[in-house]
Amino acid sequence: MHAALLQHTCAALLLALTLTAPLTFAQPSLTVTSSTKDLGNGVHVPGAIPSNLFEPLQHHLAFGKDYRTLYISWASFSFIRTPEVHFGTDPNNLNLTGTSRDSSTYPTSRTYNNHVKLMDLKPNTKYWYTVSYTNAAYAAYRPKYTFKTALQAGDMTPFSVAAFGDLGLMGPDGLSTRIGPLDTATNTVLGANETNTIQSLLQSADSYDFIAHFGDIGYADYYLRAATEGYFDNTPFLPTTEMIGVGYESLKEQFFDQMQPVTASRPWMVSPGNHEANCDNDGNCPVGQTNFTFYINQFRMPGPDSGGVGNFWYSYNYGMAHFISLDTETDLGHGLAGPIQNKTNNHNGPFGVTMDAQFDWLVSDLKHVDRSRTPWVVVFLHRPWYTAVSPPTTPPAWQTAFEGIFQQYGVDIYMTGHVHTYERWSPRFNGTIDPKGYDNPSSPWPITVGAAGHFDGLDSFTDASTSKGWFGIDSIYGWSRLSFLDRQHVRLDYFASGNSSIVDSQTLFKMH
């Protein structure tokens, strides 16, 4: 075997083993997260600056509104004038090319976000692809990645979605086997020899077709908190504004590097959460780290394709299901205040051209769903209104904004995060349990999956009065899989990330 090829092959195998084996965490170091550089030896260290600044990093995919289109995104440390994707149905003949002029950055960002929209794709088809500067000089070795296009609307072939919220950085600078000295949470650390959620998703990748991540993506905004709690070198300190900027960006880069083995081949459909808003979870931040700037630049969701707004609210079809992603943080409409809209000096939204833009779009989108082709309608959004963790005493604004519309237009399931637990509520509306339970209910099924894991650990249930029509887990990091079996049956499975075992299951029947 040629020496260079041998080096690349060994590096790829080493990386794969590292990502799938239980992590052993080294002592964290601030310099590792902000200024470490790759050695140019065919391996990229998550969060490090590559030797070749054009090297493609942090690959991730997203569907357009249907099977015909797909977005391929990646980061580079240098501007690329014309990002390119070479792709095809034969790994030895990438005879198709997609290009764009979409290479963007923002103040404080260390990288450029490159996006190419592929069009005229075939349904349910496997493609191989590479992007600009793949395997260039001194870059880490990258194989040809694959993606599979969506099922055509009306295709009743079974499929599955990995679904969760609130997934943060793993390893020394995020969720790990140790905690900062000021942290009093009891469910923060990973157990000995446990895999984390990213590793579990990678190990289980053949069991789902794409990912729905409904808010709180990476938790780079916890840099300041982690630093002041002594998470870096176990010594509390107050970072400077410059350190906050660099620390935020490097933590974000680490997270996207860690997700890349999964998201390079599985579309990653995201919704906005409060931790995407700015660099300090509602604190004061420098220009470039406010108003969802990273979230706007990092992703390309099918908002424009579906009449929605960017990455904030949009919809898409996949086989027998119509999926909707909503924004619970801003733009609730009808005079309702989003929970973080324009808080402090960060100017978080609004993003619609009118006050009621998201509401009006949602109603129009639901009115136009063809239930003969896509009988299932599922909504992903960040904040729940049913929870056993400090339950609200009055309906929150996002419940007022959305629950009635879900009921009126027959939404089958809505999934949320924000609360760091797993909660499976029986179908209900306005606090009243549907008497039919999971057997053809007329009310939507609320599910919360916010226990994927991050620096804060897990929440604890505080309300013991919810036992009727409710099941919850507040002690296990995990993620869920929603499996569409046919036009009348959907199964929910909740996986323990530590060993990828199923710890809860429930099937819903609907007479569509």
Lowest mean pLDDT among 24-28, 276-280, 410-414: 24-28
Cα angle 187, 191, 195 (rounded to 5 degrees) comes to: 115
Question: What mean pLDDT comes out for the span 287-305?
Answer: 92
Phi, psi of 250 (to 5 degrees): -70, -35
Residue 502 pLDDT class (50, 70, 90 cuts): very high
pLDDT at 14 exceeding the cut of 60:
no
**For the chain, first and last CA: distance in Å?**
57
Q: Please, which residues bridge with residue 104 across strands?
A: 113
With 0-12 CB in 10 A as exposed, 13-18 as middle and 19+ as buried, what is 181? exposed
pLDDT at 10 exceeding the cut of 50:
no
pLDDT at 198 exceeding the cut of 70:
yes
- pLDDT value, residue 338: 86
DSSP 432-462: EEPTTTTBS-SS-EEEEE--SB-TT------
- pLDDT value, residue 27: 29
Phi, psi of 398 (to 5 degrees): -70, -30
Cα angle 196, 483, 71 (rounded to 5 degrees) comes to: 75
Residue 343 pLDDT class (50, 70, 90 cuts): low
- pLDDT value, residue 186: 54
Q: Which two tokens stand for residue 462?
A: 């505080």
- pLDDT value, residue 283: 63
* DSSP letter, residue 340: T
* DSSP letter, residue 464: G
- pLDDT value, residue 231: 67
Question: Which SS3 state, helix, strand or coil, does residue 217 take?
Answer: strand
pTM (2 d.p.): 0.91
pLDDT tens, 361-404? 999 999 999 999 999 999 999 999 999 998 888 899 999 999 99
Question: What mean pLDDT comes out for the span 220-228?
Answer: 80
Question: What mean pLDDT comes out for the span 90-118?
Answer: 96
d(CA 232, CA 341): 32
CATH architecture group of domain 3-148: Sandwich (2.60)
166's torsion region: left (phi>0), alpha (psi -120 to 50) or beta? Answer: left
- pLDDT value, residue 329: 96
pLDDT at 412 exceeding the cut of 70:
yes
